[in-house]
Amino acid sequence: MRAVLITLGLILLAAGIWVLLGHGSYQQTDTLVQIGSAKVTATHDTPISPQVGIASIVVGAVLALIGFLREG
């Protein structure tokens, strides 16, 4: 259980840093025009909010700390 907490914490820490550095994004598709069954869509990259990165760092640090301090 210790190793799982430490590993998960470190993964969340790395993901949070990745997002804060501006590398995290997801694709969003919007329908611009739809006439009958034909439609025109646009797909663009949307950055992940920095608050998500900060939350990931905090949760990851807490999990890793619990894993390091846990006995057994």
Q: Is the pLDDT of residue 11 over 80?
A: yes
pLDDT at 67 over 80: yes
Q: Which pLDDT does position 1 carry in this prediction?
A: 86
Q: Specify whether the CB–CB gap between 70 and 8 falls below 8 A.
A: no
pLDDT tens per residue across span 18-65: 999 988 889 999 999 999 999 999 999 999 999 999 999 999 999 999
Instruction: Determine the pLDDT at residue 22.
Output: 86
Where residue 70 falls among pLDDT bands split at 50, 70, 90? confident
Torsion of CA 26, 60, 8, 1, to 10 degrees: -160
